Amino acid sequence: MVLLESALPQGLRSFVRALVRVKTVLVVVALPILPITFFLVVLFRYILESDLFAYEEWLLPICFWLYFLGSAIGTYDDVHINADLFGTVSANPKFLWFRKIGITTIELVIVLIVTYWAYLMLADEIAAYPHWKTTIALKIPFFIPRVGIFVGFFFMSFYSALSLYLLCKVGPNDYVKIITQEQIDKETKEERATW
């Protein structure tokens, strides 16, 4: 989607970029918590001969949020792993465009279904208030990581829908021009990196 975002109206483009920046900052700030925690676990366990109390419990929500926000960013950047070999079958712009429309449509349908399930999970959790399920030691509500799941799937749905809209808006010829230009830019960067 990031390649096609120039086809968005300026206000929406700025809004989408701001959302991605916020998610990226959250991921970058939270990511070092994991290795620091594991370093402290080793330090406490093997050097201080003690234990870092309930570290698994406060890492759980962080991991869920990181994973699903990272997935949303991956959807925006269109860098998810796939096994699509149809791109090598033909260089016909219309075929490539239809292939991308088909893949994005299937992705959107699946992600919308899973987003709905995540919503049902949250609704069930909210309905159980004040008797929320919590972790054993720190009593962190399971609601916190589940919100991360919903937010991640919501943004995956949003970016997939936006990508489908942009694919329809730019059409097959402009889509191939944009993809070709991106490939040229990527090769140019790789050549400069080898100098």
Apex CA 174: angle with CA 173 and CA 177, to 5°?
90
- As given in the structure block, the two tokens for residue 107 are 């992705």
Does residue 46 register a pLDDT over 80?
Answer: yes
Decide: residue 12, CB within 10 A, 0-12 exposed, 13-18 middle, 19+ buried.
exposed
36-40, 42-46, 94-98, 113-117: least confidently modelled range: 94-98
- Which pLDDT does position 65 carry in this prediction? 95
Encoded amino acid at 113, one letter: I
Q: Residue 86 phi/psi, 5° resolution? A: -65, -25
What pTM did the predictor assign? 0.86
Band the pLDDT of 127: cuts 50, 70, 90.
very high
- Which pLDDT does position 9 carry in this prediction? 85
- Which pLDDT does position 116 carry in this prediction? 98
Q: Decide which of 185 and 171 is more confident.
A: 171
- As given in the structure block, the two tokens for residue 71 are 């997935």
Band the pLDDT of 87: cuts 50, 70, 90.
low
- Write the pLDDT tens digit of every residue in 128-177: 988 989 999 999 999 999 999 999 999 999 999 999 998 888 888 787 78
Q: Residue 80 phi/psi, 5° resolution? A: -65, 150
Determine the Cα–Cα distance for residues 45 and 52; give it in Å rounded to an integer: 8
